[in-house]
Structure 1
Amino acid sequence: MQTLRILTAALLLSCLVFGSSSAQVKRFSIGPYIETGAPTGDFHDTHEVGWGAGLNADIKLIAGLGVTGSVGYMHFNGKTYMQTDPVNGTSSYSYPNVSAIPIRVGVKYHFFPLLYAKVEGGVANFTNNKYRDGAAGIFAPGIGIRILMIDAEVKYELWSRNGSSGFWGLKAGINF
């Protein structure tokens, strides 16, 4: 939880410092996003498609290179399986929901004015169940397109903690 507070404070501080000094040349942008994630591998066997939302910030550096950061919320519903046993009858098992607050930072490179690739890392702080208490490391490469204020990205995000859980994601946002 302390890590979440520190990273959130750092993101807000960078928004204030870089936003006020370079807003006129559009070197800084911030805005909300929504995203969806389709689980892969074992995570697909136990969880449904997830959804999330958050706040993203971008700072342009030099020659198409920039840094990015985001804080959000992501939720995956657990699947329920019915099992029929001739001796014990029918029983069901439900996997617990997974909710997390992902905090990501990374680098972004614009190949063309509209097309970019980015790599992010960070932590996903789990919020809702005792099976996944704590945090997982995040690795998330992606490719996207930004037209005026609209940003859309396709990515693969991997959460690693005592094994790994991955998902293909689609993220869309507005940058001011």
Structure 2
Amino acid sequence: MAATCMFASKANAQLKGFSIGPYAEIGAPVGDFKDTHNSGFGGGLNADIKLIMGLGVTGSAGFMYFPGRTYTVTDGQGNQLSTKAESIKALPVRVGLKYKFGFPLLYVKAEGGTATFVGGDAEAYKGTAGIFAPGIGIRLLGLDVEGKYEIWFKEGNSGFFGLKASYHF
């Protein structure tokens, strides 16, 4: 029984270098993006690989949805017209680096990747956008909570502040 406990703890220690789990996130648009879209939400799968000296690699793949909002535009003759923006549905894939400070719970990370738009008719929401997302977070046991700013680059920029929560196994 003692040998089983000893080997189990060694095997568990080896697996601590890799973790994977589901995440949920919300995003609050900023700038011009907030004029045309409401707060969004999404979810997916997140993974971390520990490297050396607090450094690690992180990645995620999921789905993000921002509902369109009704807003007012002025035409060339000074008339105000009401229009509704098309909702955004995208499949973001991100990879990046994560650094844990001397205080083991706190980390910073920077991710990049792509967001592939799905199901949209508007030209601005077809194809793929580039992503850059710096963030700061806390990880306690398997629970990981991160605050971030994410920007999507395609025919202009769409940025949002996000809150992402995940559980790693």
Fold match (TM-score > 0.5)? yes
Match of 1:151 in 2: 144
1:97–1:128 CA contact under 8 A, matched in 2: no
The reply to whether residue 174 of structure 1 matches residue 167 of structure 2 is yes
1:33–1:174 CA contact under 8 A, matched in 2: yes
1:54–1:70 CA contact under 8 A, matched in 2: yes
Match of 2:76 in 1: none
- What amino acid is aligned across from residue 108 of structure 2 in structure 1? A
Shift of 1:97: 0.1
- Aligned to 2:28, which of 14, 38, 58? 38
1:37–1:51 CA contact under 8 A, matched in 2: yes
Match of 2:50 in 1: 60
TM-score (norm. length: structure 2): 0.85
Shift of 1:128: 2.0
- Across the aligned residues of Structure 1 and Structure 2, the Cα RMSD in angstroms comes to 2.0
C-alpha distance in structure 2 between counterparts of 1:64 and 1:32, whole Å = 23
Which runs of 5 or more residues in structure 1 are unaligned? 1-21, 84-89
Shift of 1:81: 3.2
The reply to whether residue 133 of structure 1 matches residue 126 of structure 2 is yes
TM-score (norm. length: structure 1): 0.81
Shift of 1:66: 0.3
Larger Rg: 2
- What amino acid is aligned across from residue 129 of structure 1 in structure 2? G
Q: Secondary structure at the match of 1:130?
A: coil
- What amino acid is aligned across from residue 148 of structure 2 in structure 1? K
- Aligned to 1:163, which of 146, 156, 161? 156
Count residues with an aligned counterpart: 152
Match of 1:122 in 2: 113
The reply to whether residue 99 of structure 1 matches residue 92 of structure 2 is no
Match of 1:10 in 2: none
Match of 1:9 in 2: none
Runs of 4+ in 1 over 6 A off after TM superposition: none
* Greater fraction helix: 1
In the TM superposition, what are the counterparts of 1:58-97 in structure 2 within 5 Å?
A: 58-81=48-71, 92-97=82-87
Which runs of 5 or more residues in structure 2 are unaligned? 1-10, 74-79
